[in-house]
Amino acid sequence: MHIELIGSTSAGKTTLAKKMVEAGKISGVHVSLSDDFMLEQLHLDWVKPDFMRRRLVETIAFAIWLTCQVRYKEFIRFVLREGRYSPGSWFYKVNRIRNVIRKIGIFEFVSGRSGSQQIVLADNEGILQGVHNLFVHQNSQAELDKIARYVELVPLPDVVLYLRQEEDVLVSRTLARGHARVAESSPDKVVHFIRQAVAVFDELINAPQIQERLLIVDGGLNIRPEADNPFNHNFNQVTELVRYGC
């Protein structure tokens, strides 16, 4: 099962993902983060330094993308077009494309190798989470009308796990840790950034394709499916892991 965790910066995606991996060990369920799963499947999990692991994953993901790039050409064009006039340096924009390619490669690998007895989690490596980099900026308004097209172009995981937090929690956490795309960690700038992020994800989860796969974690405490749907058979196991993690 392929699960993507989405949500604003500071929502707690990485923290919850790691707790779900630990909960899997306790309950006897095989749960992996996407990077770890890729290296484990390729018998490269003996590589321990984080820097080397990330470079390996990036290289493998790029090689996979080369084999399936035709399927994603409309998506890449969309990202290039929408990102062309967004704020940020050219270095940042090039890096965004590199990250998109990485996410595609990881998704393709996980989708092709994960089975019903394996749960693979993508937090910041997920394609849906890419809406944050593309549409959320420090000094502009998010173009919410374009998110539906984004969803149409991307492949979807089996379950989308949306971490929803109160605005004041997200702001206080972001002020404490800082963010690379908020040049000055002033309260006003962080509030604007967080509000844009929340608006983007609230729009994303309204897409019918997302709703049928959606579980919402409110404040890290309550978890619920958004609607009755054909993917409910996946939800019980995910819900138990989240409750262990919380």
Share of the chain above pLDDT 70, in %: 91
Superfamily designation of domain 2-245: P-loop containing nucleotide triphosphate hydrolases (3.40.50.300)
Residues 113-158: pLDDT tens digits? Answer: 877 678 999 988 899 999 998 999 877 787 899 999 999 999 999 9
3-state secondary structure 60-93: HHHHHHHHHHHHHHHHHHHHHHHHCCCCCCHHHH
- Looking only at Cα atoms, what is the longest distance across the chain? 48
Candidates 216, 213, 149, 140; CA nearest to 181 is 140
Residues 156-170: pLDDT tens digits? Answer: 999 999 999 999 999
* Alpha-carbon gap, residue 220 to 64, rounded angstroms: 34
* Beta-strand relationship, 30-33 and 2-6: unpaired
Within the chain, which residues score under 70 in pLDDT?
Answer: 85, 87-88, 116, 184-185, 220-221, 226-233, 245-246
pTM for the full predicted model: 0.91
Angle made by CA atoms 146, 148, 149, in degrees to the nearest 5: 70
pLDDT of residue 92: 74
- Its sign, for the CA torsion 202, 205, 208, 211, is negative
Which class for 86: exposed (0-12), middle (13-18), buried (19 or more C-beta within 10 A)? middle
Beta bridge partners of 159: 3
* Alpha-carbon gap, residue 185 to 202, rounded angstroms: 24
pLDDT of residue 245: 66
